[in-house]
Amino acid sequence: MKKLLPFVLLITSLSVFSQIPSYYNDVNLNQTSTALKDALATKIISTHATNLSYTPGVWDALKQSDLDPTDNSKVILIYGYSDSDGNYVTDRTRSKDASGGTAGTQWNREHVYPKSLGNPNLGTSGPGADVHHLRPADISFNGQRSSKKFAAGSGNAGDSNGGWYPGDEWKGDVARMMMYVYLRYGNQCLPSNVTIGTANSSDSNMIDLLLQWNAEDPVSDFEKQRNPILQGIQGNRNPFIDNPAFATQIWGGPQAEDLFGNGGGGNNDTQAPTAPTNLVASSITENSVNLNWSASTDNTGVTGYDVYNGANKITTINATSYSVTGLTASTAYTFSVKAKDAANNISTSSNTVNVTTTAAPTSGTATDLLISEYVEGSSNNKALEIANFTGGTINLSGYSLKKASNGGGWSNTLTLSGSLENGKTYVVANSSASTTIKNKAQKTETSVTSFNGNDAIGLFKGSTLIDLIGNPNSSSTFAQDKTLQRKSSVKSPNSSYTTSEWNVLSKDTFSGLGSHVIDGSTPDTQAPTAPTNLAGSNVTQTSVDLAWTAATDNVAVTGYDLFNGNTKIATVTSTSYSVTGLTAATNYTFSVKAKDAAGNISSASNTLGITTKSNADTTAPSAPTNLAVSNVTQTSANLAWTAATDNVAVTGYDVFNGSTKIATVTSTSYSVTGLTASTNYTFSVKAKDAANNISTSSNTVGVTTKSVVVTYCSSKGNNSSYEYIDNVVIGGISNSTSANGGYGDFTTQTGNLSYGNNTIIVSAGFSGSSYTENWRVWIDFNKNGTFDSNEEVVSGSSSSSGNLSYTFSVPSSALSGKTRMRVSMKWNGAPTACETFSYGEVEDYSVNIGASSRSNNSSSVVINGKLGNEAPVFSANIFPNPTANFIKIQMADDREAYFNITNTIGQKIASGKVDHANINVSNLTNGIYILEVTDGQRSFTKKFIKK
């Protein structure tokens, strides 16, 4: 990453690495190859003390480690390169607080080693949440990269060579991150699974391209900023940021920057390479030249060559040849080359070579095929025209057209076929274009001709781009709803899109499609037809709008000259024009003539006489009065006022919220919507007339919208005399109470709950015997005033009066902030959130979702067990059943209890104390009997059969 940080930060960074960090004190840094690789792997694995959660752990870490050193309110976005090109996709920085999932305004987390390329998948924990290879990224740029493997390239980030090039600024960062995950996670994160290129000779899992990037793109101060911050968060560091030369010690390849200095001491390399020699130029054309030179030598190793045009460095490469493109015909240039090494020692200059590019072709002969017309019209009216003026027939099989969608690099490809005679054109049209377009086409398809006005189109000869419309690395619109026709003066293709080479015509202009001329070829002498139906509208004191019906031409109409009388006042490519700067109450006569690329001019259209309006009204209306507000809700308010007056007429009212105009209406009332609850607003109104004179402001009215009120259903136990909720402990709440009459409102107490796992402690109080109580807890995660079934977080039963714990999870979908929690304890059945039941109690609390959990005071609360699911303790079995002579009652516990036996008509037959003795029923008549058991507080019944 080559971006430089401010001077103070640079000095700080250099001072940090003037000595080896103590982190490596127990590592033998003089080792090489596998020994050093294993030693560093052991170090970063053993010190990786904290495994972060994906949410919020990774978000929080990136907002610390990836801050822009020049503005700590922003994070730096990987792959980004410009904050000023008008294209949010390529932004390099964005607000650190704009994390989320909205494209264009927010950033998300880029797994530089994609999860899906891990074996097994990295997921969102462990390697999937290791911030050493996660970076903030623009959401759309992240989506363009997707899970593509890294591949060789140059310039800015984008698709390249069947993969993804991270950009010149980021390739070193990427290489060092891939080396880190390889050492940290081994076979799960092999470099060969994420990079396209040649395998390293000493380690087939390593790809030489990463070693090259590590050497070519030195460690930036931004990377050095991340390493100690992430050590503080995770516990470990990325060794290849601390010293890129570790990669050279382990895998060989080009010598990378040695920040530790020959294995740890001083003795930094200060010797520059020798100067390159024998620089020569060849294959000189009107816009390109090939340069070649003899390699330099260095005491450690040459890492690259800087190529200069005069005093301007135009590129850095690691080869000994370079093809310079984008030059101007018949122009003199002076080139030279300098070598450099990993320590950034730079050699003296090579010899210079003077080059003069060849002249542009003349006499109607082009150097190669070129794109001569581009149609981006209504719906699928899309077409491309290729012209041949090379002087001979061209075999099209060596050519192809490619499309770059939304600045994402070349994707769709159309390989051409057949042949194209000299002086002829070849039209490719969308299969769903109009019949007029398709009748002119030699081929119809939908791959390349599905372009929009921001999709670049390239003409390739073999694998070389020779002609270009648009920018393949930008999603900016350049030709939406337009037809572009190549000017006849252009005789050569151009691999750099140049707008001055094109005539821009109005939408759905394709009359010239299928024919093209260049200067020196057969001249076009036929003038266009005259424009027709010239008409005027929107006449004011100083302006008028003109419109007319398009002319036609044997080649193409390229523009229209507009005349006021005999004076030409403008030239346009559309069929309309707004004339301004006129004088009030004055007569004008307008006409239009069409012209083509050869300069042929049509006869004039019909003439149009216009008289501008009289001098303008300059008197503003009076101010509206008696502005008042009514019907204020959480999100809206109704405004009404007394009408203003004007010397001509009031035409409307501008309504303001503070200083911001929110609406223009013609009535004297307006309903403001989309407001926020519990918020203060100040409204005012101004009147205006047809001349756009605006009154002073009305009186202002202040409004506070109503608060959002959430109500909850009621729930309680009718009898809490025997059992009640004795204690609730959660998120800092520790509330021990006696019976509260069946319901306790403790919403003034608030517990803090984090996302993920939390623990609640509950206990039951019994005034006498204990019973099996059914516990339920609900939290209104979506704050809608309803305890939904998926908001039940605790479910269990127990007869224990001890403190019972239960762990539950707060989902990431829960709304943050304060909401309601309901705790319910019911005997003899599971409670629901909104019921009134016989025995037990309900308590309500407030909880704060997303806050840091406060202690449950575990040092003072003894936990006696976990809340499980217990069978009822106040119960009994009767056996044998059916019976002929006796029954026996077996209680679930040892409490004192009594029984009554009644027949089916309610007559008591027998009674007594429940013990282990048999109850004689031999004298009972055969039939069904009811056994009631009571402990003085509760009772239950069982049936038995006497046979």
Q: Which CATH number characterizes residue 927's domain? A: 2.60.40.1930
pLDDT class of 828 with cuts at 50, 70, 90: confident
Cα separation, 336 vs 942, in Å, equals 105
Q: Each residue of 620-644: pLDDT tens digit?
A: 999 999 999 999 998 999 999 999 9
Q: Helix, strand or coil for residue 173?
A: helix
Instruction: Report the C-alpha gap between 791 and 798 in whole angstroms.
Output: 22
Q: 452 and 481: one domain? A: yes
pLDDT of 521 > 70? The answer is no
The model's pLDDT over 98-129, given as tens digits with 9 standing for 90+, comes to 999 888 889 999 999 999 999 999 999 999 99
**What's the sign of the alpha-carbon dihedral 837, 841, 845, 851?**
negative
Q: In this structure, are 79 and 217 located in the same domain?
A: yes
- DSSP H/E element including 185: helix 171-185
* pLDDT grade for 923, boundaries at 50, 70 and 90: confident
Please say if the pLDDT value at position 699 is more than 60: yes
Which of 73-77, 366-370, 797-801 ranks highest by mean pLDDT? 73-77
The three state secondary structure string of 542-594 is CCEEEEEECCCCCCCEEEEEEEECCEEEEEECCCEEEECCCCCCCEEEEEEEE
Would you state the pLDDT for residue 855? 57
Q: Given 844, 866, 888, which residue is the final one in a domain? A: 866
Task: Give the tens place of pLDDT for each residue, 558-601.
Answer: 789 999 999 999 988 889 999 999 988 899 999 999 998 667 89
* Predicted local distance difference test score (pLDDT) of residue 360: 54
Segment 661-669 mean pLDDT:
95
* Cα separation, 866 vs 578, whole angstroms: 81
Which pLDDT score is estimated for 9? 36
Q: 116 and 238, same structural domain? A: yes
Report yes or no on 456 lying in a domain. yes
pLDDT bin (cut points 50, 70, 90) of residue 5 is very low
The most confident of 256-270, 531-545, 847-861, by mean pLDDT: 531-545
Instruction: Name 536's bridge partners.
Output: 546
- Distances in Å between the Cα of 905 and the Cα atoms of 271, 337, 552, 929, 941 are 114, 115, 107, 10, 15
Confidence of residue 871 (pLDDT cuts 50, 70, 90): confident
Are 174 and 166 in contact by the 8 Å Cβ rule? The answer is: yes
Per the structure, the count of domains in the chain is 7
Q: Quick check: 402 and 410 in contact, CB under 8 A?
A: yes
Q: Where is average pLDDT lowest: 74-88, 204-218, 828-842?
A: 74-88
SS3 content of the chain, % helix, strand, coil (to 5): 15, 35, 50
**Beta strand 67-68 with 370-376: parallel, antiparallel or unpaired?**
unpaired
- Does any domain span residue 710? no
Does 777 lie in the same domain as 926? Answer: no
- Both 102 and 125 in a single domain? yes
Residue 396, domain CATH: 2.60.40.1260
Q: Of 169-173, 264-268, 318-322, 351-355, where does mean pLDDT reach its minimum?
A: 264-268
Give the number of other CB atoms < 10 A from CB of residue 77. Answer: 27
Please give the pLDDT value at position 727.
95
Whole-number Cα distances in Å, 566 to 533, 534, 544, 563, 601: 19, 16, 18, 6, 15
Residue 83, domain member (yes or no): yes
Q: According to the model, what pLDDT value does residue 697 have?
A: 95
Domain identity same for 43 and 161: yes
Query: Are 160 and 35 within one domain?
Result: yes
* pLDDT for residue 299: 87
Confidence of residue 392 (pLDDT cuts 50, 70, 90): confident
- Does residue 607 sit in the same domain as residue 630? no
Model confidence at 408, pLDDT cuts 50, 70, 90, reads: confident
Asked whether residue 228 falls in the same domain as residue 285, the answer is: no
- Report pLDDT digits (tens) over 752-788: 999 999 999 999 998 888 888 999 999 999 988 999 9
* Tokens representing residue 114 in the block: 């994609």
Mean pLDDT of the chain, nearest integer: 89
**Domain final residue pick, 586, 611, 636:** 611
Within a 10 A sphere around the Cβ of 704, how many other Cβ atoms?
12
> Hunting for tokens 């001083």 — which residue is that?
266
CA 45 to the chain's CA centroid: 31
Mean pLDDT along residues 795-822? 93
Residue 362 domain-assigned? Answer: no
Residues 6+ apart with CB under 8 A from 915: none
Strands (E), 771-926: 773-779, 792-798, 804-810, 817-827, 836-849, 865-866, 876-879, 886-891, 898-902, 908-913, 919-920
What's the pLDDT score for residue 12? 38
DSSP class of residue 229 equals H
Phi, psi of 211 (to 5 degrees): -65, -40
Percent of the residues in the chain that have a pLDDT greater than 70, as a whole number: 95
Measure CA 836 to chain center: 49
Q: How far is CA 765 from the centre of its chain?
A: 53
* Cα(650)–Cα(645) distance, integer angstroms: 6
What pLDDT was estimated at residue 3? 44
The b/e string for 21-30 (b: 16+ C-beta within 10 A; e otherwise) is bebbeebebe
Tokens of 705: 């919208």
**Structural domain includes residue 217:** yes
Alpha-carbon span 92 to 75, nearest angstrom: 9
Q: For residue 556, is it within any domain?
A: yes
First to last CA, the chain: 94
Whether 386 has a pLDDT exceeding 50, the answer reads yes
pLDDT (mean) for 287-314: 88
Supply the CATH number for residue 696's domain.
2.60.40.10
pLDDT digit string (tens) for 309-368? 998 888 888 889 998 887 887 788 999 999 988 777 899 999 998 888 866 544 457 789
Read off the pTM.
0.36
741 shares its domain with 773: yes
Q: How far apart are CA 642 and CA 802, in angstroms?
A: 71
Confidence of residue 853 (pLDDT cuts 50, 70, 90): low
Q: Examine the domain organization and report whether 53 and 163 are in the same domain.
A: yes
> Are 729 and 830 in a shared domain?
yes
* Chosen domain end from 652, 682, 704: 704
pLDDT for position 856: 52
Residue 112's closest CA among 166, 47, 33, 43? 166
User: What single-letter DSSP state applies at residue 259?
Assistant: S
| Measured CA angle at 367 (ends 492, 491), to 5 deg | 30
Return the pLDDT at 522.
Answer: 58
Kindly give, in sequence order, each residue whose CB lies less than 8 Å from that of residue 118, ignoring residues fewer than 6 positions away. 127, 128, 185, 188, 189, 193
Distances (CA, A) of 409 to 317, 416, 481, 856: 21, 20, 22, 55
Alpha carbon separation from 344 to 218, 270, 297 (Å, rounded) = 9, 9, 14
Range of the domain at 116: 7-251
Does residue 16 register a pLDDT over 80?
Answer: no
Which residues touch 7 (CB under 8 Å, ≥6 apart)?
none
